[in-house]
A and B are shown apart, each in its own frame.
Chain A
Amino acid sequence: MSTPAREALDRHATPWLLATALATTAPHVIHQPLWLSALAGVMLLWASWLWWKDERLPGRWLIVLLVGAGSAGILIEFRTLFGRDAGVAMLVMFMTMKLLELKSRRDAMVVVTLGYFLLLTHYFYSQSIPTGLWLLAAMWLVTATLIRLHGGPGNPMRATLSYAGLLCLQAIPFMLVLYLLFPRISGPLWGLPSDAHAGTTGLSDTMSPGSIAQLAQSADIAFRVRFDGAVPPKQKLYWRGPVMEQFDSTTWRPYEGRPPAPNLEIISPPIRYETTLEAHNQRWLLALDAPAELPSDFGLNSQLTVTKRQAITERQRFRLSASLDYRFNTAEDPAVLQRNLALPVGSNPDARALASQWRSNSAPEAIVSKALALFANEFTYTLRPPLLGRNGVDEFLFQTRRGFCEHYAAAFVVLMRNAGIPARVVGGYQGGEYNPLDGYLVVRQSDAHAWAEIWLDGQGWVRIDPTAAVSPSRIETGIADALPFGEPLPALVQWRSEWVRTLRYRWEAINNAWNQNILGYDPQRQRELLARLGLPDTDWRNLAIALGAACGLLVTGLMGWTLYQRPSHDPVTRLWHKALRHLARRQVNCAPWETPLDLARRVREQRPELAESFQPVVDAYLLARYGTDHSLKTLRDAVAQLRR
């Protein structure tokens, strides 16, 4: 039996299907294994060539062989055929191979369905604005292809595209309703458990020479801050991360024990701000020194780092306040001071000798200024310091004299400890870039920094930034000005041309708005929105009801609008449509361009049992509508006769 689904595919539909396959698979090239992209590309080109030359499609056995080989490749590459990456790879392979067996309408429908499904898979990898735009356009194309398959060759391309566009536009209200009302899950909307947090970069909780210099080469955003008032001067913006007290002659680590609460004395009035922290897989929140108020479920440890119980694995927003002038732990536990004087035995003898000279006859403040004066001479600030050996601090201080902030902080702390002043390294970020367009301060990985903290009697822990002595501009204006040209800074940070900067500000402002408002729409904000709409306590049941009601309203509204658009107030037309509906219920559909006589003829041929009652309707309708006789009675009677 020949059903419509088995109909042969008309040749001119193939380019649409090829375009659909290309549009729905192409962005996967970014993360797919190269061989798979190459295979998919070859399949696409092959299918296009076969179409162009009007050649026969390859035989079934060849396709089976190709699918077998492709699946084996995926199995070897991913060690599974399931899960996100392998599953998507399988879909891409199926999509491109299906193009080689486009024989019937049914095959074409498989391509379209697969296309719609593939659209979804892109969100597993990216939810950025370009991805969204691409997928919208691809959805338009897939829909147009579907319309093309049903509309036949008669419709010109422009009509097909505009019809598909109209359909997509009509879907927008539903998209909005689903977006706003569909129950939200906390956590990344599309991320899957195994890979949601893979590959996030950020400050680590240990520091060794070169670790921050490496981080500073990334332009990724660490967090964004919006101050309630004016942005404080840059040299005061120290975002505190881990505090490292333990040194094993190469690496600095935090103290492992559980320290008591700090004794913080706030001097200047607190500044309120909101920070949007990117996922960094660590427990600390990079708060501005010194934190005055904390978000709930965060704690402050004795080293002034704001931490949480669990690692932060998704982009989150917090409200905080900070006091830029403060004093803390003026009465410090002697054990802590002891810990901050400890040095590995026998390491860095030259530094020890130098510090001992200072120690003999000076007050702590004088020792600090001697050390800073040492850095201010003859030292170079660079992202590409030479490699250091076992006694790294000695080599740095007396031979290479080239380093990034971690070198200076480490060397300074070693000197201080040798001079008998308790000192430690603090990791974090310094500064940030203010975007005047949306008022956000953007802090990037390239703003990663390390500085020192020393304990002075009566003053508590005091921040000393030795980098400021070497390169004051690093603290005052930013890293791009502090480093000589040619250092491997990310281009994004380095460009100083005015319009590039404006363009970048604009793009970041848009991106930030997208992140804050679209992707950041979480259960909390959904609850707030619904509360404002008069649905205070929402569980999934209430949401489902709201969703159903909103969609129902939309459908009713759209239907009303469509009916309003087509005013069939003419009673003749109304009766005729009634008759057409009667036929449609009996599986005879009238195309818009089909004349009543053609329809009557078709009914006689296909459904002779309906013809007898339908013919009088046609006669009466034609007379009433196109003739001079406008009496409705005959038509009404004929239509009424249909019902029996």
Chain B
Amino acid sequence: MLKHTLSALAGRPRPFDAILEQAGRIILGKDHEIRLAIACLLANGHLLIEDLPGMGKTTLSHALARLLGLQFSRIQFTSDLLPADITGVSIFERDKSEFRFLPGPVFAQLVLADEINRATPKTQSALLEAMEEGQVTAEGQTRQLPTPFFVIATQNPAHQIGTFPLPESQLDRFLMRLELGYPDRAAERALLAAGGQRAQADKLMPLLNANDLPAFQQEAAATHAADPLIDYVQAVVEATRQNPAFQHGLSPRAGLALLAAARAWAWLAGRDMVLPDDVQAVLPAVARHRLRSAQGGGYAQAEDIAALVRSIAIP
């Protein structure tokens, strides 16, 4: 969104520009969504991507894992998936006469949980515990997950028969929720001309070492948020509580999430201070799945969020 560079504001080199650029070659015409996804990971949050099949959800996850140099695993959620299929099981080794724990696919730095709403709530909660705690408890033993640890979950909104939609409390665990949407004309034409992008994703070279990421995360979290900016975030959160378009407002945790996401967004833009623009840019991705529309009860409408922004003066 902030394509132009403010001469006085952008003094810092931006290591993520190359990552953004490379990912943009794989997922065509979705620069804003890619930037949001990376901001989400920088803010140490988990990501929920919700869209129809074939929109590039999995490709995006692949590309991010490759570019960030993260160890990647994918879990295809189905209705008969069991918690142990995620966390891992102990098997008896005849040679050593002892049980050995075989870690499940969750023991990876970036886990893609594909079609998370197909699994039963019990299985879902095994993943969600891992997301929240950064650890896994299996067979009475608690095991630390690698750091960094990210989950990108995908969900297909159209076919809800035989699925278990995530309850609100678990939606709250995801820092952001994205919709990729159809590519624009030019992007789609380029896609058709170039052929499948998934194969290309596998050819990407890592631009980052997995060990670098925590340092960048710390840097992003230290982005300066001045008092007026905190005021603005507070005004936004309060406005969601008073706005009749929503059934209920944002929680304090959501307010923290909003500020963290805005910090990461600002850092990505090469700034060491957060601006109201950053809050506005991440607000739909952070807030929509945490709010309920007063009409219909689904996610908050994008227009309502836009109207909300228009009702708050910039401090």
Contact = CB atoms under 8 A, between A and B. Distances in A.
A159 B226 contact: no
B314 A596 contact: yes
Interface stretch (B87-95, B141-149, B169-177, B272-280): B272-280
A627 interface: yes
A328 to B, nearest CB: 76
Interface stretch (A51-59, A149-157, A447-455, A503-511): A149-157
Interface string B1-29: 01010111100000000000000000000
Interface stretch (B121-129, B247-255, B305-313): B305-313
DSSP majority for the B interface?
A: loop
Contacts of B2: 597
A625 B307 CA distance: 25
A618 to B, nearest CB: 8
Interface residues of B, number: 28
Contact of A623 (B4, B9, B244, B245): B9
B196 interface: no
A280 B297 CA distance: 65
A593 B311 contact: yes
Nearest to B314: A595
Contacts, number: 69
Contacts of A623: 8-9, 273
A598 B277 contact: yes
Contacts of B314: 592-596
B228 interface: yes
B243 interface: yes
A569 interface: no
A619 B307 contact: no
B2 to A, nearest CB: 7
B229 interface: yes
A626 B8 CA distance: 13
Interface string A550-574: 0000000000000000000000000
A154 B310 contact: yes
A159 B229 CA distance: 25
Given A595-B275, A626-B226, A628-B224, A156 B8 contact: no
Interface string A154-169: 1110110000000000
A155 B311 contact: yes
B8 A593 contact: no
Interface in A597-641: 597-598, 601, 616, 618-620, 622-623, 625-628
B8 to A, nearest CB: 4
A207 B272 CA distance: 98
A198 interface: no
A591 interface: yes
B6 A593 contact: no
Interface in B237-267: 243-245
Nearest to B244: A156
A159 B311 CA distance: 10
Contacts of A591: 310
Interface residues on A, range: 20 to 34
Given A153-B307, A619-B7, A627-B273, A158 B244 contact: yes
A156 B304 CA distance: 10
Nearest to B276: A595
Contacts of A156: 243-245, 307
Contacts of B306: 154
Contacts of A594: 314
Most chain B CB within 10 A, of A156, A158, A593, A596, is at A593
Contact of B274 (A592, A597, A616, A626): A626
Contacts of A596: 275, 314
A84 to B, nearest CB: 44
Interface in B4-58: 4, 6-9
A627 B10 CA distance: 12
A619 B310 contact: no
A158 B243 CA distance: 10
Contacts of A592: 312-314
Contact of B224 (A153, A601, A627): A627
Given A153-B307, A154-B307, A623-B8, A597 B228 contact: no
A595 B280 contact: yes
Interface in A333-357: none
A628 B9 CA distance: 12
A159 B242 CA distance: 11
A497 B213 CA distance: 86
A340 B133 CA distance: 115
Nearest to A592: B313
A592 B4 CA distance: 23
A461 B52 CA distance: 106
A189 B9 CA distance: 66
Contacts of B9: 619, 622-623
Nearest to A619: B8
A626 B275 contact: yes
Interface string B258-301: 00000000000000111111001000000000000000000000
Contacts of B275: 595-597, 622, 626
A593 B314 CA distance: 5
A554 B268 CA distance: 51
Contacts of B244: 156, 158
A636 to B, nearest CB: 15
Nearest to A593: B310
B310 A625 contact: no
B196 to A, nearest CB: 37
A191 B267 CA distance: 71
B160 to A, nearest CB: 30
B273 A628 contact: yes
Contacts of A619: 6-9
B226 A625 contact: yes
A619 B273 CA distance: 12
B273 A593 contact: no
Interface in A130-157: 153-156
A623 B229 CA distance: 12
Contacts of A628: 224, 226, 272-273
B315 to A, nearest CB: 9
A601 B3 CA distance: 11
B229 to A, nearest CB: 5
B311 A154 contact: yes
Nearest to A157: B244
Contacts of B313: 592-593
Contacts of B229: 626
Contact of A593 (B7, B243, B274, B312): B312
Contacts of B6: 597, 618-619, 622
Most chain B CB within 10 A, of A159, A593, A598, A626, is at A626
A105 to B, nearest CB: 19
Given A592-B314, A596-B314, 14 more contacts: A154-B310, A154-B311, A155-B311, A595-B275, A595-B276, A595-B314, A601-B4, A616-B8, A619-B8, A623-B8, A623-B9, A626-B229, A626-B276, A628-B273
In the A-B complex, the 8 residue pairs with the smallest Cβ-Cβ separation, listed nearest first, are A154-B307, A592-B313, A619-B8, A627-B273, A626-B226, A595-B277, A595-B276, A593-B310
18 contacts: A153-B307, A154-B311, A156-B245, A158-B244, A592-B313, A593-B309, A595-B277, A596-B275, A596-B314, A597-B6, A598-B277, A618-B6, A622-B9, A626-B228, A626-B273, A626-B275, A627-B224, A627-B272
